[in-house]
Structure 1
Amino acid sequence: MRQERTYTMTFLEKIKPHLISNDFLIQETVLNALHDFPNVPEEWTVELLKEAFNNKEKQTSILIFVENQTINEESIKILIENIPKMDQSKVHLALNLVARIDPELALKNREPLKNYIRMDMWPLYELVVNGTEEEVYTEYGETLNDLERAASYQHDLYIKAKKLAACIVKNGWITEDEIDLVLKDELKEQWFSFNGILTIYMIGLLKLEKYIPLLASLLIRDDDILLEEVATALIGFQSDEVVKQAVPYLRQSESIIFAASVVENIKSDLSVQVLREAYHNAEKLDDQDILIEALCHQLSIKALPEISDHMKKEYYFGLVDIEQTVYGYYSILGQQHPDIELWKQAVMESELHFRNDSNQKNLQQSVPVRKENKVGRNDPCPCGSGKKYKKCCG
């Protein structure tokens, strides 16, 4: 475990000098590398939010990519101060962060937040902070029923259920025996119910290591909401045992996206080793791209041979913005490559081409700006599912 913690510190130390980068492409690499990583220091989130409101060109990307990071009291103050000044087309990105504030902290800051949190949410916050076990479970059961009866996926209801589930875990109102019973029933079915999916979420919160093999076995499932919770739970362990269990799923195209996301976000020498091995075993170019992206986000010099060789291949389009990712990797590690400026130029031309096609303004700017209506592979899917684009319609 000490080795894993040391590797994590090394990863963060490599990132830190580039956390606020003037180079748009390096900034995007940093944000991607941190997006699903659970150990981002809270002060980094504060720093990134300040940058988002000081630099409008970066605002969209930063507000999207800090969504999984902890919003503390200082971050709340930054949001409250700046939301009134925002372009209306981007306010929803800040409100998404406000919605993720811990209910207890939200109640503590209720007066300044009252204009940014829906009125119907405050009773929920009161319930999860002050409610009894019976009251919380009653509301939880009703919310699960509403989710199951809905004709389509209801993201707001799902977030409500997660807040109730987190309350149940925090108060110790669920046992491992109860979890075992739920999973026993769920595993008999082709599709997990919302009760089963949220039980996976609870396992992640509880850090119950005995479930690691079972969670890894779910990586082959064809249910993206379930897979998001499975991946988040596995990443949360920050354990090489998770890496070992994920290896078989790195070798299958059907499970590689989520399996690579898991291993990518567990920062250890073993993660780098298994990603390199998986790359050499992968036959499809799209699968290789995904593994190279995961290796780049490990920021390990050991992956340099695979990354360098991969960039010799020729193709026109893939699931990963490979030139941008590799450019960021080389730049952050301070490595030289004869094509590094060509990669940068290719990405910039792609951005400018997009803006021309979209009739965007400010075409004379020298630095490309990722516009709100361009969907990046890690951006929220425009279909409204709440999942990443590359794991949904992408």
Structure 2
Amino acid sequence: MVSLYEQWKDLIENQTEKTFHKFWEEYSSTEKKIYSNILENKKTTLSGTVKDLYSEYEADPVLFMGFLDGINSSLKNELKLEDLTEESNIELEIDFEKLYFNMLKAEADYLYSLEQWNDILDEARRNQIIKEFKQSKTVRKEKSPGRNDPCPCGSGKKYKKCCGAN
């Protein structure tokens, strides 16, 4: 029997240009519905069997596995998705700050712009997370030594007489 996670992976990998738009619309609306409910009810923990949870959110089992795949890196204890079945008992402890950061990273504006975030993280904290996210994407180039600077190899010679001599 193929696991839900493998079915999710197959679903993603087998999308064509024709089917992708419909798939993405269905998946993103399911994801948005689940996150809206979690944020609205300030649920930091979800627990139960996989089947109970996808039934509670009226979600397709495979799309719910996609939700679990997406939220997994924002949990305090990550799940082993490959081992999950419909009867598996799971407990999701959500770290909301990490979740917001990961939504920014995934460029999921339909999720990080949900108005329910206002009750979870104040605007100042959200702006701080956005700033941290932008800084994490900034590439910093170290200043290379000038010709007359000491060589970084530690020899004590000038850079131009040591490692800079080509």
- Same structural fold, with TM-score higher than 0.5 when normalized by the shorter chain: no
Greater length-normalized contact order (CA 8 Å, ≥ 6 residues apart):
2
Which has the greater radius of gyration? 2
Higher strand proportion (structure 1 or 2):
2
Higher helix proportion (structure 1 or 2):
1
